[in-house]
A and B are shown apart, each in its own frame.
Chain A
Amino acid sequence: MHKPFAITLDIGTSLANHTGSWRNERPVYVDLMPPCNHACPAGENIQAWLYHAEEGDYEAAWRQLVTDNPLPAVEGRVCYHPCEGACNRGQLDEAVNIHAVERFLGDEALKRGWKIEAGAPTGKHVLVVGAGPSGLSAAYHLRRLGHDVTIHDAGPMAGGMMRFGIPKYRLPRDILDGEIARIVDMGVTIELNSKVSDIPGMMKDGGFDAAFVAVGAHLAKRTDIPAREAGKILDAISVLRDMETDEEPPLLGRRVVVYGGGNTALDMARTAKRLGASEALVVYRRTREQMPAHDIELEEALDEGVILHWLTTIKQIDGTTCTVEKMKVDENGWPQPTGEFETLEADTLVLALGQAVDTSFLKTIPGVAITDDGVIDVDGNMMTGYPGLFAGGDMVPAERTVTVAIGHGKKAARNIDGWLRGEEPATRADARVAGYERLNAWYYTDADKTVQPALNLIRRQTTFDEIHGGLDETNALFEARRCLSCGNCFECDNCYGVCPDNAVIKLGPGKRFEFNYDFCKGCGLCAAECPCGAIDMVAERM
């Protein structure tokens, strides 16, 4: 090339200058554990399904959701949503209304009849005992993995505590039936009114390769209350069960006292209100803060006119008169008697003092251990001491909620699958939780939570109609879009835009981005400006 006077070099583009050699830190895309997923007892990948819901692709969102949880319409209603307590958005304005979106997706699936296919047949057959949330969840996940499943349940209908413990106003039965039917449609056989007493025998005779037992905790705990003239004393779990099986609702009378401080106690009091009781009193021996009942349930019960007596024990019952003693909390947080007595009038006293597990049919199985609390001991893989027998739900040591039970079912199914194949189930690669400090919250606009419509108070006090309405398509979309996508790229293009060196490559919709380390100088702007904290800066080896 002919060059002008005093010019010796060929001119060209600066692309020849690989500024990547300046770098002492490199940006790396990561996928972290969002706090909601981390808090979910069922291990739902909430951020992932909200990602699809944000786009309005509700079917994809639902399909992502049901890879972990087969009962979203139920869960969207009854779960106490620990995810929302953990949600980083709570520190910005208000937590994302995750359960409302979950419920919307669950209802959409029922409305549109979305189905789930079973996996390719493995030829293995698993016995599930108990058709409650845990058993149904295990059966569902085992079917997805291609195993044949037969469920035996002692009750007349499937659903366990979802049907016999949770009142209709929180969980309408058509929803429950719809979601159970979808699991049955995957080829799960459910034998009702079939109490199993000899699991090893049934496994042998039925040709089962493994078994999962989740019969729940159905035995009402009692307490001795001296009665001069016996009044009417019932237990809450039986009353709630009778609500489902009897045609005539149980007669409780005008003044109902419920003894206990858990969710069942509140469900009982609220049910009594709806059955026409003018007074529904809950007596609990400890303080409000110590109540095992969830805050939401308590607030709703108070709204409906349920009266709470904290720090009170029932000492004696004489016909319709209950003698109660006031308690005070000692320095260790335990209630101690004060010697101050009062009386309460009650046509019926309902005990809601917790439930125990009927372990009688398991005691004889070699290797099965029962803890001091009367529940079944399982290892980290949900297996009992009897090889091939797994257990979960309310009958193993854990918090007793539908969500925990569903999580147990999933975990047991994956471990049963691993056990049948002789391999360990896969675990998540990067389990670090994406905390609020990772976010660049400036990028998120303030957007208030969408509130679900609620039934008016009069109808709540007098009918068993569902209290909370659902979201519709527009506000479900709004709510899904409030997700901050903590620790997982949601393709906002910020890294791509803020790089002064054009060292971020956009791979196209759904494919995210890549760094061009030839030119990346390692300034860290992409990581600092990533709204959701999905970029780490990692030191280069010198």
Chain B
Amino acid sequence: MTQRIKFYQTGTLAVGNRLLDEENRTVQSTPERNNSLTSGHRACQGCGEALGARYVVDVAMREAGNKLIAVNATGCLEVFSTPYPESSWRVPWIHSLFGNAPAVATGVAAALRAKGRVDTRVLAQGGDGGTVDIGFGCLSGMFERNDDVLYICYDNEAYMNTGVQRSGSTPPAARTATTPAMGQTKGNVFGQGKNAALIAMAHFIPYVATASVADLHDLEAKVAKAMGMSGARYIHVHVPCPLGWGSKPCDTIRLARLAVETGLFPLFEAEHGEITEVTPIRHKVPVEEYLRPQRRFAHLFGKSADTHVLAAIQQMADRNIENFGLSG
């Protein structure tokens, strides 16, 4: 694969760089960033979701000229950022039920339109539980009506806040509190769960994308692009969870990167139901490198390991690489 060298010292891969032109730097690299989710929040050490929310909401704020209302489903993000009486949000923010954030966001957008406040934009956010499972009916409705909301799902692949229960986004073989590593099939089963981004595409909404906390330039570009559009838009952001995945806090970004580099989490963009852009894998790595540092996959390694499971996960990654054309 030939790779165009955009910038020599670090590529465009570091968050910023003193040598980059101002317009090529990320929002996060500037001291003017909004810090929409500010210090003092109670997320665990190395929380991928806190990082993802900081990245997403700061770009959305810039793109909206700081006129943004955020709707937040129940979940980790809501719990750790707003334990009464403290709030970490520096953005108008409203907490919804677990399952109705898309509906509340629709209502906020309708209210703004009714009041003639067309300059104020609406962002809704939730975890994979609130999005892929519980809030999915509301979300599908929001898509189908093409309401003017950008919905962000921070996917940490289980219900982490309530004690790591399986969600519709939990990957096969992963151990959770409800899919223990015991019995005939250890961990989560194969062939279930759902790909929310592909289902969102099936609604033919203006914009769908996947993003990762490991590639900030890519994530910011996608949020900025979505903010430049109107109608229903959906971005699915992969955010590792040290607590639920049993990984080291300092490995959060490394794991997010490995998820992309293995092919397990493809990065793509779609407009009106058609994939328009995929981010090619720079250095392909076997899935084992991604799985091994996570205790939720510990049963795949060691003496009594079932190598078929590892091979099946590798097959999933390979299929993604082929289906999405990730080899560049």
B84 contacts which chain A residues (CB < 8 A)? 9, 11
Cβ-closest chain A residue relative to B216? A497
A504-542 contacts to B (CB < 8 Å): 506, 508-509, 516, 518-519, 521-525, 527-529, 531, 537
On whether the beta carbons of B40 and A498 are closer than 8 Å, the reply is: no
Residue B301 is within 8 A (CB to CB) of chain A in the complex = no
Residue B5 is within 8 A (CB to CB) of chain A in the complex = yes
B39 contacts which chain A residues (CB < 8 A)? 14-15, 19, 501-503, 516, 518-519
Residue B179 is within 8 A (CB to CB) of chain A in the complex = no
B48-68 contacts to A (CB < 8 Å): 48, 50-51, 54
Whether A528 contacts B16 in the complex (CB less than 8 A), given A13-B86, A16-B86, A500-B47, comes out as no
On whether the beta carbons of B45 and A445 are closer than 8 Å, the reply is: no
Residues of B within 8 Å of A, CB-based: how many? 53
On whether the beta carbons of B257 and A442 are closer than 8 Å, the reply is: yes
On whether the beta carbons of B41 and A14 are closer than 8 Å, the reply is: yes
Residue A424 is within 8 A (CB to CB) of chain B in the complex = no
Whether A17 contacts B28 in the complex (CB less than 8 A), given A502-B35, A525-B250, A528-B250, comes out as no
**Alpha-carbon separation in the docked complex, A53 to B45 (Å):** 38
Determine how close the nearest CB of chain B comes to the CB of A237; give it in whole angstroms.
43
B242 contacts which chain A residues (CB < 8 A)? 523
Residue among B8, B31, B51, B86 making CB contact with A498, cutoff 8 Å: B51
Residue A334 is within 8 A (CB to CB) of chain B in the complex = no
**Alpha-carbon separation in the docked complex, A498 to B256 (Å):** 12
On whether the beta carbons of B38 and A502 are closer than 8 Å, the reply is: yes
Residue among B5, B31, B47, B87 making CB contact with A446, cutoff 8 Å: B5
A446 contacts which chain B residues (CB < 8 A)? 3, 5
Cβ-closest chain A residue relative to B15? A497
Residue B192 is within 8 A (CB to CB) of chain A in the complex = no
B268-327 contacts to A (CB < 8 Å): 282-283
B35 contacts which chain A residues (CB < 8 A)? 502
Whether A528 contacts B15 in the complex (CB less than 8 A), given A13-B40, A445-B6, A500-B51, comes out as no
B54 contacts which chain A residues (CB < 8 A)? 500, 502
On whether the beta carbons of A497 and B40 are closer than 8 Å, the reply is: no
Residue among B11, B37, B51 making CB contact with A445, cutoff 8 Å: B11
On whether the beta carbons of A17 and B86 are closer than 8 Å, the reply is: yes
**Alpha-carbon separation in the docked complex, A109 to B116 (Å):** 64
Whether A492 contacts B14 in the complex (CB less than 8 A), given A13-B40, A522-B45, comes out as yes
A469-504 contacts to B (CB < 8 Å): 478, 481-485, 490-494, 496-498, 500-503
On whether the beta carbons of A501 and B8 are closer than 8 Å, the reply is: no
On whether the beta carbons of B86 and A14 are closer than 8 Å, the reply is: yes
Residue among A12, A17, A528 making CB contact with B254, cutoff 8 Å: A528
Residue B9 is within 8 A (CB to CB) of chain A in the complex = yes
On whether the beta carbons of A524 and B28 are closer than 8 Å, the reply is: no
**Alpha-carbon separation in the docked complex, A421 to B79 (Å):** 65
On whether the beta carbons of A524 and B19 are closer than 8 Å, the reply is: no
B283 contacts which chain A residues (CB < 8 A)? 442
Counting chain B CB atoms within 10 Å of each CB, the highest count among A11, A445, A490, A521 belongs to A445
Determine how close the nearest CB of chain B comes to the CB of A150; give it in whole angstroms.
45
Determine how close the nearest CB of chain A comes to the CB of B20; give it in whole angstroms.
9
Cβ-closest chain A residue relative to B39? A519
Residue A202 is within 8 A (CB to CB) of chain B in the complex = no
On whether the beta carbons of B88 and A508 are closer than 8 Å, the reply is: no
A16 contacts which chain B residues (CB < 8 A)? 40, 86
On whether the beta carbons of B9 and A482 are closer than 8 Å, the reply is: yes
On whether the beta carbons of B38 and A15 are closer than 8 Å, the reply is: yes
**Alpha-carbon separation in the docked complex, A300 to B281 (Å):** 40
**Alpha-carbon separation in the docked complex, A267 to B17 (Å):** 45
Determine how close the nearest CB of chain A comes to the CB of B30; give it in whole angstroms.
8
Residue B246 is within 8 A (CB to CB) of chain A in the complex = no
Cβ-closest chain B residue relative to A448? B5
Residue B46 is within 8 A (CB to CB) of chain A in the complex = yes
B31 contacts which chain A residues (CB < 8 A)? 506, 508
B195 contacts which chain A residues (CB < 8 A)? none
B254 contacts which chain A residues (CB < 8 A)? 528-529
Residue A114 is within 8 A (CB to CB) of chain B in the complex = no
Whether A525 contacts B40 in the complex (CB less than 8 A), given A12-B86, A13-B86, A493-B15, comes out as no
On whether the beta carbons of A496 and B28 are closer than 8 Å, the reply is: yes
**Alpha-carbon separation in the docked complex, A527 to B249 (Å):** 11
Cβ-closest chain B residue relative to A495? B15
Determine how close the nearest CB of chain A comes to the CB of B308; give it in whole angstroms.
30
Residue B252 is within 8 A (CB to CB) of chain A in the complex = yes
A537 contacts which chain B residues (CB < 8 A)? 250
On whether the beta carbons of A531 and B85 are closer than 8 Å, the reply is: no
On whether the beta carbons of A19 and B10 are closer than 8 Å, the reply is: no
B10 contacts which chain A residues (CB < 8 A)? 443-445, 492, 531
Determine how close the nearest CB of chain A comes to the CB of B132; give it in whole angstroms.
23
Residue among A13, A484, A524, A525 making CB contact with B38, cutoff 8 Å: A13
Residue A55 is within 8 A (CB to CB) of chain B in the complex = yes
A: residues with CB less than 8 A from B are 9-19, 22, 54-55, 442-447, 478, 481-485, 490-494, 496-498, 500-503, 506, 508-509, 516, 518-519, 521-525, 527-529, 531, 537
Given A442-B13, A523-B45, A524-B46, 6 additional A-B pairs, CB 8 A: A9-B85, A13-B38, A445-B6, A447-B5, A491-B17, A491-B18
Q: Which 6 A-B pairs have the closest CB atoms?
A: A497-B15, A493-B16, A445-B11, A524-B250, A14-B40, A523-B46
